[in-house]
A = this chain, B = another copy of it.
């Protein structure tokens, strides 16, 4: 798994290329996002820049999601997290202790999912794989649970 950490410059570039303005609040939010390579919540961004309006924070996040620069990760419970997308098709490993999100690519999973057609009635249009982990540093610390334990029915 790679820990690809995009800078705020990457977001600036892409948003600019897409024909959107690079305003003060947006640049501030891009820099804040760059400080959370392992994922952030809207709340965390607001804490970083309390002077920026709530609506602007959510609008900016949505803009980035629309441009495919940020992925929204709907956790089983609690607020969704967002993480800067490394580009291309990938999946997420979410730490249930600290909430850190790491991307991984695993082509074997993709190819196996291709075989699912026989099992799943209808036309497959997409899929989502999320792996819940206790990340290395949380295992080391033997830390307490920050996020709720995950049930996998």
| Contacts from A to B (Cβ < 8 Å) | 1, 68, 71-72, 74-76, 85, 89-90, 93, 95-96, 102, 104-106, 108-109, 112-113, 115-116, 119-136, 138-139, 149-153
Contact = CB atoms under 8 A, between A and B. Distances in A.
29 contacts: A68-B153, A71-B153, A72-B76, A74-B75, A74-B76, A93-B120, A93-B122, A96-B125, A96-B126, A102-B120, A102-B121, A106-B119, A108-B115, A109-B113, A112-B112, A120-B131, A120-B133, A122-B133, A122-B136, A122-B138, A122-B139, A123-B134, A123-B139, A125-B132, A125-B134, A126-B131, A127-B130, A127-B152, A128-B129
A31 B112 CA distance: 38
Main SS of chain A's interface residues?
Answer: mixed
User: Could you say how many copies of this chain the assembly holds?
Assistant: 2
Nearest to A71: B153
